[in-house]
A and B are shown apart, each in its own frame.
Chain A
């Protein structure tokens, strides 16, 4: 079956512009996570969705970052007024249930802010 997909695979934008990154999780997976991976760094947790519950936004670095998940499936991460330090690979992961622990990752979106 299909894995987690993300689009676009690469995004180059100018400082100050808004960007939207999309994640399609594996069908039936109730938990969805967004992470940021900067060069030479580990994974930085951003936000977590579980079913219809309110998301855990504790990892979002500033109010320029937001995310939504429509219908318990597709998720969009939005970064407003992008800054150069936002340049990174943004990874999405889903899991059947959050309590199971195992996550399935998408290939990521490489964001470059000029």
Chain B
């Protein structure tokens, strides 16, 4: 079956630090990959996505590259802000299923 593994949090950084949140997956076929972000008290919202190998999704300074050879989709940002403090979820949807598989989420805390 499909699964998504994320690094455990919380990840605590100072403002302007470099961010990496690791995500690896197992899936049948060729999945689409997603990062969602959940700000405190809100629902999840799509941050970025990639639908095929070597695609790079990007949004709001965040990037992630679909690496088929390592089955990874790590989230990166060059300089985090306090407002980036949230929980980040990696997810996949494989072609044969309409039900996405989510990771457990990684909490990011950014200090001024």
- A: residues with CB less than 8 A from B are 4, 31, 33, 35, 40-43, 45, 48, 50, 56, 59, 91, 93, 98-99, 101-108
The answer to whether A42 and B89 touch across the interface, beta carbons within 8 angstroms, is yes
In the complex, what's the smallest C-beta–C-beta distance from A52 to chain B, in angstroms? Answer: 15
Binding site for A on B (CB under 8 A): 32, 34, 36, 41-46, 49, 51, 89, 93, 98-100, 102-105
Which residues of the partner chain A approach B45 to less than 8 Å between Cβ atoms?
Answer: 104-105
Residue in contact with B105 in the complex, picked from A42, A48, A101, A108, CB distance below 8 Å: A42
Interface pairs (30), CB distance under 8 Å: A4-B43, A33-B99, A35-B102, A40-B104, A41-B104, A42-B89, A42-B102, A42-B103, A42-B104, A43-B89, A43-B102, A45-B99, A45-B100, A48-B98, A56-B98, A56-B99, A59-B99, A91-B43, A91-B44, A93-B43, A98-B98, A101-B32, A101-B51, A101-B93, A102-B49, A103-B44, A103-B46, A103-B100, A104-B46, A106-B43
B46 to chain A, nearest CB (A): 5
Is the Cβ of B100 less than 8 Å from the Cβ of A101? yes
What residues of B have a CB within 8 angstroms of the CB of A45 in the complex?
99-100
Q: What residues on B are CB-neighbors of A48 within 8 Å?
A: 98-99
Residues of B within 8 Å of A59, CB to CB, are: 99
Known: A101-B49, A105-B44. A50 touches B98 (CB 8 A): yes
